Amino acid sequence: MACSLLHFCYFHDLKPIHEFLFPHSKGGDKEHSWEDEDWGTWEDGELKEIKEDKSSSKAPTVSWLQDCVISLSPTNDLMVMARDQKAVFLVPKWKNNEKGKNEMQYCVTWSGALNVEEGECVSSAICIPLASQKRSSTGRPDWTCIIVGFTSGYVRFYTENGVLLLAQLLNEDPVLQLKCRTYEIPRHPGVTEQHEELSILYPFALVTIDGFSLFQSLRACRNQVARAAASGAESVQPPPLTYKKWGLQDVDMIVDHTSIGIMTLCPFDQLKTASILGGVNATVKSSPPAMSAYVTVGSGPFTGFFYALEGSTQPLLSHVALAVASKLTSALFNAASGWLGWKSKHDEETVQKQKPKVEPATPLPVRFGIPDSRRRGEHICLSPCNTLAAVTDDFGRVTLLDVVRGVAIRMWKGYRDAEVGWIQVVEDLHEREIEKSNVSPFSSPNGLRRVAQFLVIYAPRRGILEVWSTQQGPRVGAFNVGKHCRLLYPGYKIMGLNNVTSQGWQPQTYQICLIDPVDGNVKTINVPFHLALSDKKSERAKDMHLLKRLTVLLKAKVSNPENLETEIKMHLLDIKYPTMKKQALEKLLASKNISLSCLTNLIQALLDNLMNQDPESVDEGLLQFCLSQLKLLHLYTCVNKLNAEDVEQNGAKTNNELASLLRLEENESAKIQTLLDNYRHGKNKNTVQFEDDENCKLPIQMFLDFLEYEKETVHVKKVDEEEYVALGNFFFWKCLCGKCSVKEMCHLLESAGVRPQQFLSLLLSMWLFREKDILKNQESISFLHSLLSILIKMKGAIDVSWDFQSVSPWWQQVRTACAQAENIGAALLAALIGRSVSTSVTNSLAEKDIQEIEASDGMTDSWEALSLDMEHWNMLLRQLEDCLVLQTLLQNKGNKPTCGHSEPLSRISVKKLLEGGRGVVADGVAKWIFKLDLTPSILKQAHQSRRLESAEEPEEKERSILFHEKCRELGLERILEFLQLAYERFPYSLESDVLHAHCCWEYVVQWNKDPEEGCFLSRSVDHLKCVDNGHVQRGIAVMMWNTFIVKRLSAAAYLMDKVGKAPKDRLCRRDVGMSDTAMTSFLGSCSLLIQTLMEAEISSDEMKEPFLQIEDTWSAIEGPTSIVDLALEQRRVHYPLAEHHYILAVIMHGIMLFGMKSVKIFSLFDSKGKNAFFRELTSIQLLPSGDMDPNIVSLRQQFLMKLVSAAVQELIRPPKTEHASEQHSYSEQNEDWPSVAVELSQNLQVNEDCIKRHHVCELYSHGIDHIGEEAILQVHDQEVLASQLLVLTGQRLAYALLHTQTKEGMELLARLPPMLCTWLKAMNPQDLQNKDVPIEATARLARKVIELLPENHGQYSLVLHLLEAVDAISSL
């Protein structure tokens, strides 16, 4: 056992903490120049060169930890990181890491600024856990107090949540250091009992606070703050703390300090000190005085020793009395001023801003020191036994001080900027070595436990952590760590204990830890006690040395194996301790450089050595371990020998022989063979094939690691599935290939004492894993049959108490393995073989009892038992066949390219289907359909194809032929075949409505993952339309609306209303999460979805809810509720509310499709309509009723006219080349948009005839006369339409006569009647969208106007003149 670094906590992400504490850092801290310095070579040969985990460019990003004030509670329940005014409090919590393992992780519980005074910064912090006062406490602290020192001189006390408990100004200089000492039980009766204390260092003053009074004050403050928070009242300012303040004199500079505690001098030291201080006339007291000792480091002197006599000064209580008196006076005055109305807020602020009084310090001169004018101390760390201290300085030295004598006893060089700490290790009495030659009181196991102390030094410049044995001991451990770590050594435990309460406590505290900011790990150091035993006669130290030598030998490359075996044997036999021998033996067994024969010889030699010893002195555990390993080595050797024989057996059988062996009919055998062939061909396309390993080799190290020998039985350890397969491959694969005798292998295993159930698991795991080889070469079926037949006859395979009336646990194990297997082909073959062997075994057992049965008149139950067990096999086989068909379908890709957004399909098993719920089959097929992007029409026709094939009518037969030709063109023949086969096996699970419902849900889920793919949502709505049952259709639509649609539609509506037009791409991505083109498609799908929902709501009234069935084979299925079941649970929708949302969706779609502007969509609705939007469609909302406000109706009419104009304009716009397909689909929709506008006008209380007339006028204005003539037929008020068309005719004629200005035109204009000429001049041709219209089209328009106008109309004569003019122009 050697020193080790143990991981006990980690930071998930230090980046947020770094950004909070260093908000203005750019590119990290600057690189320290000392990293490039030459520090020479590492003197010790045990460590190799330091390998940095990160590149040098990463160093600036992690060096920030050196600039922070960090403190960790010794109970590891709170950590504080602070810099300048900011601080972060962290607590450890159990969480799963990236690998899913549960580990302790630091989480931020509070962060913020701690400064109260302007300009003050945090200079020191300490976390002190406070003991619980409850009797039932198990050693954990009640809570942890955070004490923070500031540059302003203030010391403040906080709770774990950042609540300020107490603040006190003890000195006006900056706080340099905070240190704490807690109670420790004295190890010896003569040792002075040390009391708890908090010490605060200032540049020239030292303040000490008694731990007992501090503990009581903090408890009272916390309770008072809790009561104030609960009642909502203001907390009362607590009284100041009592403390002692020493003015440290005769020193130039103080950087750090430590409090040694109370010391009592021996008589000689008392006389010596009195003579030095008082001379020859000094008086000496009869009893040595008690003194409090303090040691400081800095300069002038390098280390200073101060001694304060106990009782020489009273605690500073004057300001406490003054504060209490002033508090009482101010309370009375405030009460009186409140009564009389004198008090003001300004007075309160003045009182609060007044600085407290700072008491003067009691002078305390330095008694003596270690002078060194050039050296400056930086840090001092006191050992747990209060006798030693480690001091670091600016020369890169670490000095070990004896604080009792005041001398330096050891110095280490080359540790610049070092951080130090201590580890105290207590001896375990059970491991104490007993030397027969040295009998002493301490040799008894009942004697006192020895204590060893180790000094830990972290050298950041070299990135090395070292452990040294004190006082003059060697280095016992060294670790390569990063260059930017922090070593934390609290030096105290839990505050609030005493000699009574500490008896029953076992606090779980750590002594030292290392924070690595590179990987975020926090590690502690484990040092075994025996490393302190530097005596050359120590048997344990000698054994450790031999163990290290043995480790080096095993790693070295040796040319002569015989010499290696001899040397290892010598070292192994020289080790005395049984635990060390077992460690050495485990290293031998795990080494890859030791051959099998050498390993056997070494263990045999060790066993012989143990046998020759006194039986009472031999460790029984070591002896049994050697015996078990030898037996395992013998088993490994025998199995290797059998595998190496390579015996060829006559295992080839015909198909009929295999069918007879498996007890199958010819038609059943042919059907299963066809299923397996389809499955194998589909799987070979999807898998990468590797060269098979026919040697079945398994390293001896892995063999010994997987197996154990206990109580004359070979057990298989709990290992991973891959290791299970490797072990089964080693034992049985040669047997399954026919190259090894099955009987000899089983006989060998039985003689070795194996458990048949475990080796049955190995056999099945290997069989199921090597499915590809088994399906390729089915000769292994007969060999597996033989293996199972022999294994079941082994001792312990079948329980003696088992009878025919219960299911066999042996065969249930086989069925369970087959049901859990994802390799369905191998599982089906294993189940067939298992059923065959089970039937044979059961029949043979039944025949033995047949004579006894014939003697009785009753019927036997054996055949009932056989049928019961057979029923389990038959059920499993039907389930496996179903799974085989389904897996064949899911792994088939056909010739179609798969969708790039789809995830790999998970493999299925019987267990997964039984636990996946009623919709698991349809869900898997829906994922496969999405992967291949099959259209709903193909699925629907595939359902109908069998009916079409069996139909007698020629039309349906012709449709079936056309469908198959279409599938052949698309390369979907095999897919269609497998799909129809799946429909046959799962008639209820893959029923048309169920499958379309799951496809609909799968597409909308995939669209939600990537909203840019609007085709996914469109395809989802297509599948929804294919659902025939209105109840299912309505439920799926409601679920889609509530889960995926309503939030995005709401965001899009508010965005469009805000901008008043079709929003740009950037705004769409910001508010809705998709681009502008994707949002256009989304809105179109939304309108179709709501329209489908409305139709389903109406159709559901005319049909019953479907009764969902499940196949008999899968009647035991359990698991989550299916999508169809959830859909049927949905409530009916409120039809007017759905129609209300449909109108909004259509309006939004039109705005986005045509890029309309100046449209506030919510202005088209009144307050009731606005409030009803985006509510639950199943709820009853107050909707607009009665006549609408004329202003809103006018806005609606203007919008619908704009919509119609945009739709007509889009008809003549040429499609863009890059989106030709999209433009084509849009143009198909545009032809229907005028009718959509008419439909909207009916719901929006707008005159629909007005919209129709506007549509006709827009068509003629754009020159699309042939569509305009058809649209005229839908107009009701044709007289008004004729007047509007008359204006268009005049504008066309005015453009032809007045703006072209041809000679013939001018002559014709002169011949026109004056009234017509004046009317034409008043026309504005610029209002026409298309002016270049043939005069023949204008003539037809004029005739159409005459047809529409009655003869008694006032403009009828004008139209006649106009028609004559048009005819005259057309004749020119």
What pLDDT does 1372 receive? 60
Say how many C-beta atoms besides its own lie within 10 A of residue 46's C-beta. 9
Q: How confident is the model at residue 693 (pLDDT cuts 50, 70, 90)?
A: very low
pLDDT in tens, 821-832: 999 999 999 999
Residue 346: the pLDDT is 44
Quick one: pLDDT band at residue 951, thresholds 50, 70, 90?
Answer: very low
pLDDT at 754: 87
Rounded to 5 degrees, what angle do the CA atoms 1009, 1012, 1014 make?
Answer: 95
Residue 471 and residue 383 in contact, taking contact as beta carbons nearer than 8 Å: no
pLDDT greater at residue 500 or residue 1146: 1146
With H, G, I as helix, E, B as strand and everything else as coil, classify residue 810: helix
Q: Which of 589, 578, 596 is nearest to 550 (CA)?
A: 589
Q: What is the mean pLDDT of residues 828-840?
A: 92
Question: Minimum mean pLDDT among 195-199, 430-434, 475-479, 639-643: which range?
Answer: 430-434
How many helices and strands in the chain, by DSSP H and E?
Answer: 47, 31
pLDDT band (50, 70, 90) for residue 377: very high
Cis check for the bond before 301: say yes or no (omega within 30 of 0): yes
Give the per-residue pLDDT at 651. Answer: 53
Over the stretch 452-482, which tens digit does the pLDDT of each residue have? 999 999 999 999 999 999 888 888 889 999 8
- pLDDT of 381 higher than 80: yes
The whole-number average pLDDT for the span 289-305 is: 92
3-class DSSP state for residue 495?
strand
Provide Rg for the chain, Cα atoms: 47
Which of 185-189, 293-297, 860-864, 1034-1038 is predicted least confidently?
860-864
Whether 508 has a pLDDT exceeding 80, the answer reads: no
pLDDT beyond 80 at 774: yes
| Structural contact between residues 8 and 522, judged by C-beta atoms closer than 8 angstroms | yes
Task: Give me the percent of the chain exceeding a pLDDT of 90.
Answer: 42
Helix, strand, or coil (residue 206): strand
Whether residue 945 is predicted with pLDDT greater than 80 in this model: the reply is: no
Which CA distances in Å does 424 have to 420, 454, 511, 538?
14, 6, 8, 20
Highest-confidence range of 554-568, 1185-1199, 1210-1224, 1347-1361, by mean pLDDT? Answer: 1185-1199
Under 8 Å CB-to-CB from 783, ≥6 apart: which residues?
649, 651, 735, 736, 737, 738, 742
Within 1155-1187, residue ranges assigned H as helices are 1167-1172
Backbone angles phi, psi at 762, to 5 degrees: -60, -45
Token digits for 1244? 């929006």
For range 661-665, the mean pLDDT: 88
- Lowest-confidence pick of 829-833, 839-843, 1107-1111, 1283-1287: 839-843
Of 407-421, 867-881, 917-931, 1349-1363, give the lowest mean pLDDT range: 1349-1363
pLDDT interval class at 48 (50, 70, 90): very low
Q: Which two tokens stand for residue 1262?
A: 């754009």
Place of tokens 């229907």: 1232
Phi and psi dihedrals of 1027, rounded to 5?
A: -75, 120
CA torsion 726-732-734-740 (nearest 10°) is 150
Is residue 595 a contact partner of residue 567, using CB atoms and an 8 Å limit? no
Q: Is the pLDDT of residue 956 over 50?
A: yes
What distance in Å separates the CA atoms of residue 762 and residue 760, rounded to the nearest whole number?
5
CA angle, 1257 as apex, 1292 and 1163 as ends, to 5°? 135
Q: How many angstroms separate the CA atoms of 1175 and 54, rounded?
A: 55
Q: Given this model, what pLDDT does residue 489 score?
A: 94
DSSP H helices, 44-96, are: 59-62
| pLDDT at position 841 | 81
Q: What is the pLDDT of residues 240-267, one digit of tens each?
A: 888 999 999 999 999 999 999 988 878 8
Indicate the range of 19-33, 172-186, 1244-1258 predicted with least confidence: 19-33
Q: Which two tokens stand for residue 967?
A: 């599938």
DSSP 313-382: S----HHHHHHHHHHHHHHHHHHHHHHHT---HHHHHHHHHSPPP-PPPEEEE--EEE--SS--EEEEEE
Query: Is the per-residue pLDDT at 741 higher than 80?
Result: yes
Tens digit of each residue's pLDDT (9 = 90 or more) over 325-347: 444 334 433 433 343 333 444 44
* Residue tagged 């001792």 (tokens): 795
For residue 83, the Cα-to-chain-centroid distance in whole angstroms is 31
Query: What angle is formed at CA 9 by the lines to CA 5 and CA 15, rounded to 5 degrees?
Result: 115
The amino acid present at 944, given as its one-letter code, is: Q
Please say whether the beta carbons of 736 and 787 come within 8 A: yes
Whole-number Å distance between alpha carbons of 1332 and 482: 82
Using CA atoms, how far apart are residues 824 and 887, in angstroms rounded to an integer?
A: 8
By C-alpha distance, which of 849, 998, 822 is closest to 927? 998
Q: Which residue has the higher pLDDT, 1320 or 953?
A: 1320
How much is the average pLDDT of 1254-1283?
89
What pLDDT is attached to residue 1055?
95
Do 206 and 245 touch, CB atoms closer than 8 A?
yes
- pLDDT reading at 59 higher than 60: no
Nearest to 523 by CA among 510, 511, 535, 513: 513
End-to-end CA distance of the chain: 117
**Residue 334: its pLDDT value, please?**
44
Average pLDDT, the chain: 82
Model confidence at 1236, in pLDDT bands (50, 70, 90)?
very high
Q: How confident is the model at residue 901 (pLDDT cuts 50, 70, 90)?
A: low
Residue 610 Cα distances to 433, 619, 721, angstroms: 20, 9, 38
Higher pLDDT, 559 or 1250: 1250
Higher pLDDT, 976 or 347: 976
Asked whether the beta carbons of 1004 and 1017 are under 8 A apart, the reply is yes
Determine the Cα–Cα distance for residues 1214 and 1222; give it in Å rounded to an integer: 12
DSSP code of residue 64:
G
For residues 259 and 492, the answer to whether their CB atoms sit within 8 Å is no
pLDDT at 307 exceeding the cut of 50: yes
Question: Average pLDDT, stretch 1315-1325?
Answer: 83
Is the per-residue pLDDT at 1289 higher than 90?
no
What was the pLDDT predicted at 376? 94
Cβ 297 vs Cβ 372: under 8 Å = no
- Output 808 or 1047, whichever has higher pLDDT: 1047
pLDDT at 1343: 86
Residues pairing with 147 in the sheet: 126, 157
Cβ count within 10 A of residue 419: 23
**Is residue 487 packed enough to be buried (19+ CB in 10 Å), middle (13-18) or exposed (0-12)?**
buried
For 102-145, write each residue's pLDDT tens digit.
Answer: 788 899 999 999 988 888 999 999 999 998 877 655 667 889 99
- Please give the single-letter amino acid code of residue 865: A
Which stretch of 10-19, 643-652, 1139-1148, 1156-1165 has the lowest confidence by average pLDDT? 643-652
Question: pTM for this structure?
Answer: 0.67
